[in-house]
Structure 1
Amino acid sequence: MTGAATRRPNCASVMEVMEGSFRFAAIMQHPPSPLFVPAQRRPRAPALGKAMATIDDMDMAVRKARSGEGDCLLLWILVWSELAAFGALLVAFLVTTVVDAGGASLLRSHLHPGLAALNTVLLVSSGWQAALAVRGGAGAVRRPLMLAALFGLAFAAVKIAEYTVEIRSGIGGAGTLAELYFLVTGFHLLHVVFGTGILLLVAWRPSRANVVMIATLWHVIDLVWLVMFPIVYLT
């Protein structure tokens, strides 16, 4: 009797353990809902998203416009400063020819208007190619820019050959006018050489803004020569 009485608590404890296991399994299969559910981020409404995208696009467009205006202003400042510099040199040359008529006549006896006319044709042809580069599309830029640079190099070669002939013929006897002649035409020649290098650089890596910039500066160089040619060689 004592043995049977002592076994009953053990059987009861086993039953309790099994019942607890069944409850735990049931809880794991159907867990209770959590007390605190993290708030989910609401998606942005389509209309609001479109409005924000439009505002961003407008802001970017305004920034690009302001940047373009700044670049355009700097370009025109450079253009007018170059025109002012060449204008001052040409005025000084004209005044000196009036004051020193004998030196002017000696200077022109050593000049070669034929070579200068050839250079005029070369420079105008170069400017025409630069204009074609501006009008052309993205794939039609390199060729006219390369041709414009080629005409520029030809201009420089003819001008250096002209200098060589003039120096050998004794143009230095014209005194101050000879110095002004080399100053004016040499300053222009430096611009041609520099512009030719920029043309080649832009032809290598073209962009719309750079093509317009170099074409504008190149047309200024053309314009200066078209004014310089009659003043220096034909007046």
Structure 2
Amino acid sequence: MTETQGESPLDQLPGDLMMWVLIISELLVFGGGLLAFLAVRITDPAGFALAQDSLHRTAAGVNTVVLVTSGYLAARAVGYATAGKIAATRWALLAASALGVVFLVIKFAEFADKAALGIRPETHPFYTFYYLLTGFHAAHVIAGLVIFAMLALRPTPRNLQVGAAFWHMVDLVWVLLFPVIYLLR
């Protein structure tokens, strides 16, 4: 019997099983939020479209590029760690983290702009979902930055796989949030 014949499909997952449980549960939560957003949108398409027009689509598009690039750098960090290039691993993590901070600065600038206009979660159901979904996502970006900081202290390939898997989930969620909240009519 070869080594891979005795392994289950779960043994083939990179990183840690518990991180995958967390990732799947988070994807279900965000998926439920997006489905609820779309269901409520059906009840007031004109109101949702009008509210959506107040969003900064260009900034959100830039944020998409920023976050996907950060995900690429997280993947590079895994490769560097696997190759034993600790300095390069830390630089890739630092660059990925810096882009995560850029994402948050842009997102919080958008939140500040909405607040200055008096737009709050209770202004319209669109904004309730907008603040909940994008705010919850921003909290995950912050969690990812904390994970990256811890990984920089102990950048083993396995640790990096676990942290990068979380960060890629954060990327995936944004790639779904962006078109649904900012673009879909």
The reply to whether TM is greater than 0.5 is yes
1:220 corresponds to which residue? 169
Larger C-alpha radius of gyration, 1 or 2? 1
Letter matched to residue 96 of structure 2: A
Structure 2 residue aligned with 1:146, among 94, 116, 139?
94
Aligned residues of 1:107 and 1:171 also touching (Cα < 8 A): no
Distance 1:193 1:163 in 2: 16
- Where do residues 93-172 of structure 1 align in structure 2 (5 Å cutoff)? 93-136=37-80, 137-139=83-85, 140-172=88-120
Letter matched to residue 134 of structure 2: T
Shift of 1:215: 0.5
TM-score (norm 1): 0.68
Aligned residues of 1:123 and 1:151 also touching (Cα < 8 A): yes
Q: Equivalent residue of 2:36, what SS? A: helix
Q: 1:231 aligned to 2:180?
A: yes
1:178 corresponds to which residue? 127
Letter matched to residue 226 of structure 1: V
1:88 corresponds to which residue? 32
2:155 corresponds to which residue? 206
1:78 corresponds to which residue? 22
Aligned residues of 1:97 and 1:104 also touching (Cα < 8 A): yes
Distance 2:69 2:61 in 1: 12
- List gaps (5 residues or longer) in structure 2: 1-6
Deviations 1:165-201 (A, max 9, x none): 1222243474122111100000000000110111122
Higher RCO (Cα < 8 Å, 6 or more apart): 2
Shift of 1:138: 2.1
The number of residue pairs the alignment matches comes to 171
Deviations 1:35-89 (A, max 9, x none): xxxxxxxxxxxxxxxxxxxxxxxxxxxxxx99x9497321221111011010000
Question: What is the root-mean-square deviation of aligned Cα atoms in Å?
Answer: 2.1
Shift of 1:102: 3.2
Letter matched to residue 106 of structure 2: V
Q: Which moved more, 1:105-114 or 1:165-174?
A: 165-174
Identity of aligned residues (%): 38
TM-score (norm 2): 0.85
Q: Equivalent residue of 2:16, what SS? A: helix
Shift of 1:160: 0.2
- List gaps (5 residues or longer) in structure 1: 1-64
Shift of 1:106: 2.6
Letter matched to residue 130 of structure 2: Y
Distance 2:102 2:66 in 1: 7
- Where do residues 10-25 of structure 1 align in structure 2 (5 Å cutoff)? none
Q: Equivalent residue of 1:110, what SS? A: coil
Letter matched to residue 138 of structure 1: G
